[in-house]
Structure 1
Amino acid sequence: MFLRAETTGGLLLVGATVVALIWANAAPGAYHAVWSAPAGFGPSWLHLDHLRVTDWVADGLLAGFFFVVGLELKQELTVGGLADRRSATLPVAAAAGGMIAPALVCLALTHHTPGGGHAWA
């Protein structure tokens, strides 16, 4: 069954990406209008009444995504394929390099540049 396959999530993400790219390039005004639409609700003391769709994605969905990724990583490091220190060495080194290399490129390109300290994002 399609919904039980391991690749279903990836295929849905690729499909959504293709649809979003086509939509953003075919009708950029409509695409931007949807993402900047007000989507606030709840009591004003929670300060949720002024949020837009992009705020919910940035604050809510990304927090949930990184929570799930953290759970998966913990599972792999404790009982999964990376529980052995020798098995985890290469992926951990690759992850560290994936963080350090872009930072070094950023520093190299923005060294002594006005506003270069704002390039980290």
Structure 2
Amino acid sequence: MTHDFSAAQRARFRALLEEQREADRSNAFAATRNMQLISDARQDSSTDDEHDPEGVTLAFERSSEAAMVQRSERGVAEASAALARLDDGSYGLCEECGNEIATARLEARPATTLCIECARRHGA
């Protein structure tokens, strides 16, 4: 079974997914760079985080950037997987129930793998 997209819709989803993937790659790169800057700043400060107010701030900032890298890398993987589904004809089909995912949902979340009903059941 395949979702019946027009050529224009397929091109639109491809553009959305490529844009999402590129934005996530850029975000991961920036967050990785920020983590390096934080590490460099930390080398110039006290190593006693417990008593150095800057150490705690730097640790929190580094943790936040690490989370951004993980989210962005997950976004790159999701967009890449969606592009592969677009190529093999399975894009737009719910991975759980096999029903078509509404076009409006795909416009809002191009890399989604679940229809709205299944997403609600999973709390996604």
TM interval, shorter chain, is: 0.3 to 0.5
Instruction: Provide TM-score, normalisation by structure 2.
Output: 0.32
Instruction: Provide TM-score, normalisation by structure 1.
Output: 0.32
